[in-house]
């Protein structure tokens, strides 16, 4: 009896649910005619459709390419390439953009998000902390970019820098297959910590550096000051050899202005990154003709930092320092359009810094003239002193002849102009002649 009673109640409940479902279905408005709106309507009205059955978002195809002259450079101390490529944390408003690239088989880390959102022409990374045999494990993360690494030799999982160049822009370079790469200081055995890499392009040279920290109790301050001097000498050598402008990016581990630190009055003067020696070392780069891109456009802007301590959770309160820079040769500052910090990009105790600029026409013209002179000097380098002297005399003689011919050309032009006048017109010329007796006599004649 109990079993039959349960069956009866189950039948009654099923009939009641069916009748309610029919009434609910009849009360719904008719669906729209458009197929795309129909899909949205069914997803919204059906409570049984789970999110797991929806299609993955379709990837967006980018329409390149920035013009060759429009450049965006980003620099970021990632504090370990492995860490920044395994994290997925960003601001809430950025999730909608990131969702376009996330599928069932593909996630998006902070570094890939930065590349897809900003599409920089050049990205420089510091403190990668990877060895040479690990580079291939991360290259696939940089789709559409060519990577150049410099790793530490002294210690594993320490220091390291890298430069990533967008392939479509690099292919527009004349020497894109033979880009000159320099890793570290040449003939400097003490500098083998993977702190410098440079690339030479058609119009400029870019350097990516990770300056050594003076450490606790300033144990490495003297090493740091020598490193600054060697870096400046290296930059001067590059400019002298190529005649090209230099862009210096990276973590320079110094805050040289009070605006660059959240508590300048309370900070001890013998603290790493804040000593007078380090500030003076940074100013030598400024005196050598390099321009701080951020301070050039924002000389009085405060509360703009690129590094925050993890220990005290200082980023929440914006208690940071500006340790990351993009410096450029003075000849490029006319084309500077924007310089900025990107604190919204997470994954490291540093945030990326960026710069947008165009190569000025005045610089490109002067570079062309410099390169012509350098090619001429290179062609003459194999000649002896006597041959150079003879060539110089021949060149001076040719220039003198050119001046004489130009002056003769002016006179001949005047003569031609006179001869083309109407022959019937009379010209009366008066001139003064001095006979042997000394009396002046004026003579008039018709031509």
* Residues identified as active-site: 210, 251
Task: Give 114-180 as a DSSP string.
Answer: HHHHH--SEEEEE-----GGGTHHHHTTSTTEEEEEE--SSSTTS--EEEEEEHHHHTTSTTTTS-E
- Decide the pairing of beta strands 324-329 and 245-251: antiparallel
C-alpha to C-alpha distance for 409 and 398, rounded to whole angstroms: 16
Please calculate the CA angle 350-303-272 and round it to the nearest 5 degrees: 55
Question: How many C-beta neighbours within 10 Å does residue 245 have?
Answer: 23
Tell which residue, 229, 200, 362, has the closest CA to residue 288.
229
Burial of 256 (0-12, 13-18, 19+ CB in 10 A): buried
**Cα-based distances in Å from 399 to 132, 376, 386, 404:** 57, 17, 20, 9
- Decide the pairing of beta strands 70-77 and 122-126: parallel
Residue 400 φ then ψ, to 5°: -65, -45
């Amino acid at each position: 009896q109990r079993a039959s009673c349960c069956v009866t109640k189950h039948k009654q409940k099923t009939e009641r649910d069916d009748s309610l479902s029919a009434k609910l279905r009849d009360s719904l408005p008719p669906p729209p005619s458009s197929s795309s709106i129909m899909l949205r309507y069914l997803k919204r009205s059906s409570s049984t459709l789970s999110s797991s059955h929806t299609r993955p978002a379709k990837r967006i195809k980018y329409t390149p390419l920035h013009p060759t002259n429009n450049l965006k450079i980003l620099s970021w101390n990632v504090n370990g390439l492995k860490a920044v490529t395994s994290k997925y944390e960003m601001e809430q408003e950025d999730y909608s953009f990131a969702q376009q690239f996330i599928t069932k088989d593909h996630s998006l880390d902070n570094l890939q998000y930065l590349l897809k959102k900003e599409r920089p022409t050049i990205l420089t990374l510091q403190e990668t902390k990877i060895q040479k045999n690990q580079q291939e494990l991360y290259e696939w993360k940089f789709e559409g970019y060519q990577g150049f690494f410099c790793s530490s030799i002294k210690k594993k999982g320490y220091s390291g820098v890298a430069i990533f160049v967008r392939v479509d822009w690099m292919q527009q370079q004349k020497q894109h297959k033979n880009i000159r790469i320099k890793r570290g200081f040449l003939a400097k055995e003490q500098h083998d910590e993977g702190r410098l890499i440079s690339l030479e392009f058609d119009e400029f040279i870019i350097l990516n550096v990770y300056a050594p920290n003076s450490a606790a109790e300033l144990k490495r301050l003297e090493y740091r000051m020598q490193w600054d001097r060697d870096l400046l000498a290296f930059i001067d050598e590059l400019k002298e050899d190529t005649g090209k402008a230099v862009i210096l990016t990276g973590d320079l581990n110094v805050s040289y202005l009070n605006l660059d630190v959240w508590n300048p009055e309370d900070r001890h003067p013998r603290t790493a990154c804040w000593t007078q020696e380090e500030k003076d070392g940074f100013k030598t780069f400024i005196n050598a003709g390099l321009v701080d891109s951020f301070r050039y456009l924002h000389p009085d802007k405060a509360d703009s930092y690129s590094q925050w301590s993890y220990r005290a959770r200082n980023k929440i309160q914006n208690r940071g320092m500006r340790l990351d820079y993009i410096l450029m040769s003075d000849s490029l500052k006319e084309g500077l359009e924007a310089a900025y910090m990107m604190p919204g990009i997470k994954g490291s105790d540093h945030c990326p810094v960026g710069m947008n600029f165009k190569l000025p026409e005045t610089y490109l013209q002067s570079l062309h003239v410099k390169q012509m002179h350098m090619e001429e000097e290179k062609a003459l380098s194999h000649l002896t002193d006597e041959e150079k002297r003879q060539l110089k005399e021949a060149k001076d003689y040719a220039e003198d002849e050119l001046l004489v011919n130009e002056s003769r050309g002016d006179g001949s032009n005047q003569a031609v102009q006179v001869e083309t006048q109407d022959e019937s017109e009379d010209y009366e010329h008066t001139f003064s002649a001095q006979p042997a007796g000394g009396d002046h006599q004026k003579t008039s004649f018709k031509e």
